[in-house]
Amino acid sequence: MAKIDEKAFPFSKQWLDDRLALTTVMKVLNTEYWIPKNINFLWAMGMILAATFGILLISGIFLLMYYVPTVEGAFDSVNYTIMTEVGYGWLWRHIHGIGASLVFLIIYIHMFTGIYYGSYKRGREMIWISGMLLFVLFSAEAFSGYMLPWGQMSYWAGMVITNLFSGGSLEAYGLVEWIRGDYVPGQAFLGRFFMLHVLLLPLVIIGAIVFHFATLRLPHVNNQDGEEVDFEESARLWKEGTVESRKKSEVIPFSPVFLSKDIFVMGVYFILFFYLVFYNFNFAMDPVNFDPADGLKTPAHIYPEWYFLWSYEILRPFSKDLGLIAFAIAQVIFFALPFLDRSPNVAPASKRGLFQIWFWLMLVDIIVLTFMGKLPPTDPAFAFIGLVSAVLFFVLWAALPFITMFEKKIKE
């Protein structure tokens, strides 16, 4: 056994260090986890995501106290019991709804920040891949949660999305029925999506967040200029502790110094968050979902939540098989970004020539797809814009390796 200090007072610092190496752990994870100074508020998005996930978890736990996962009871338990009877039940529901919506806004900002600054390559590939894993998991979490109020949109989104698994001409209806546990969404379906939403997926998400953090530890976060920071030298300067040396150091410790900046940005974010919760909660509540599920009546126009609209619009303009293939590719293509970008430059897009155009086209294309996805499929002009944007999405991805292959190398 390791040597312990016999005289250490129980639970004192020394006592804990002898048993848990607490000081070492704190150093590795906080006080000597170095963050470059040269970053901006966009680097706070990660911690905002972590905090929003925490809020979703807490509000979800309170919703769970009165939610009833049955096809007869679900709709009323949410719209009647929780919203009107349970004290402050409406608060948890609105927090949960706004949180689920904003988490995607922040995820998209976080992703595009990574793309803009080239934070997904040259040692940071696993950060990107674990991040995309989180994106897929959050998508599944949002979809399964959307089933739970068992309104019209829950039912028909469940119908359409599970039908995607028939694989078009593969006609794998057995698989679709297996996923549903029934010919159509019913009790078996609601029960299993309830299980996924409240237990299995949150557990996997927590694991994936820990993994995402672990992937950051060795490569460290990138910075605004893609500059390669000499962490050892900078850490030494910081630890020297003089005003002079700390000024010269290019880094600050994650905690408490960087975290206090993060918390400032978080403060601004939560003002927006609670403004929406209290004064604009309808933005996260679809009116159609205030009708109970009815398997004999499709709503006049169905569409997913705003954060899925761009990929939904990629499915829509094509024939069934082509649409499914396009949709499947769109779901996973971002995973491949570190490998499709052939340029060694880690630098902001503004310094990367054609890549800068690629970046803004991709961002605008996804925004246009999002708007088109919300419109009914009847207007030919908008359907055409949707088609062009969907094709552009694939053209951009196909062009990426070539654009980046010929990119001028910025530095050795």
Partner 1 sequence: MSTRRDFMGMALGGFTAAGAIGGLYAAKRTWDPLPSVKAAGSTVIDLSEAIEGEPMTEKWRGKPIFVLKKTAEMPAHDRDVVVDGARYHVSIALCTHLGCIPAYKKADQTFFCACHGGVFDTSGTNLPGLPPPSPLEIPPFKIEGNTLVLGSEGPEYLEMKKNNLVV
62, 67, 92, 135: residue in contact with ligand HEM (rule CB under 6 A): 135
State the Cα–Cα distance between residues 256 and 254, nearest whole angstrom: 6
Among positions 228, 230, 233, 321, the unique one binding partner 1 when judged by CB under 8 A:
321
Among 144, 152, 154, 222, binds ligand HEM (CB under 6 A): 222
Helix (H, G, I), strand (E, B) or coil at 34: strand
Q: For partner 1, which is the closer residue by CB, 167 or 344?
A: 167
121 binds ligand HEM (CB under 6 A): no
Sole binder of partner 1 in the list 23, 70, 282, 298 (CB under 8 A): 298
Check binding of 160 to partner 1 (CB under 8 A).
Answer: yes
Contact with ligand HEM (CB under 6 A) among 33, 34, 128, 150? 128
Confirm or reject binding of residue 134 to ligand HEM (CB under 6 A). yes
Q: Which amino acid is at 318?
A: F
Residue 184 found at the interface with partner 1 (CB under 8 A): yes
Per rule CB under 8 A, is residue 391 in the interface with partner 1? no
252-282 core/surface letters (b: 16 or more CB in 10 A; e: else)? bbbbebbbebbeebbeebbeebeebbeeebe
Output the smallest distance, CB 276 to ligand HEM, in A. 19
| Residue 191 tokens, joined | 């029960």
Contact 404/342 with Cβ under 8 angstroms?
A: yes
CB within 8 Å of 272: residues ≥ 6 apart: 102
CA distances from 289 to 78, 116, 305, 368 (A): 11, 37, 11, 25
User: With respect to ligand HEM, which residue has the nearer C-beta, 123 or 287?
Assistant: 123
Considering only 156, 194, 254, 358, the residue that binds partner 1 (CB under 8 A) is 156
d(Cα 62, Cα 387) in Å, to the nearest integer?
A: 43
Partners of 151 in the beta sheet? 292
Residues 46-75 that bind ligand HEM (CB under 6 A): 46-47, 49-50, 53
- Establish if 177 lies at the interface with partner 1 (CB under 8 A): yes
User: Contact between 72 and partner 1 (CB under 8 A)?
Assistant: no
Position 127 contacts ligand HEM (CB under 6 A)? yes
Query: Which DSSP symbol is given to 250?
Result: S
**Three-state SS string across 94-135, please?**
HHHHHHHHHHHHHHHHHHHHHHHHCCCCCCCHHHHHHHHHHH
Nearer CB in complex with partner 1: 97/373:
373
Which residue, 4 or 26, has its beta carbon nearer to ligand HEM? Answer: 26
Q: Answer yes or no: are the C-beta atoms of 35 and 251 closer than 8 Å.
A: yes
**Sole binder of partner 1 in the list 88, 183, 242, 279 (CB under 8 A):** 183
C-beta separation of 90 from 29 below 8 A: no
Within 8 A by CB and 6+ apart from 166, the residues are 172, 173, 175, 176
Tokens linked to 67: 């939610």
- Residue from 243, 319, 381, 409 touching partner 1 (CB under 8 A): that is 319
389 forms part of the interface with ligand HEM (CB under 6 A) = no
Number of Cβ within 10 Å of residue 66's Cβ equals: 15
Tell whether residue 251 is a contact of ligand HEM (CB under 6 A): no
Where does this chain bind partner 1 (CB under 8 A)? Answer: 156, 159-160, 163-164, 168-169, 177-184, 186, 188, 192, 295-302, 315-316, 318-321, 323, 376-378, 383
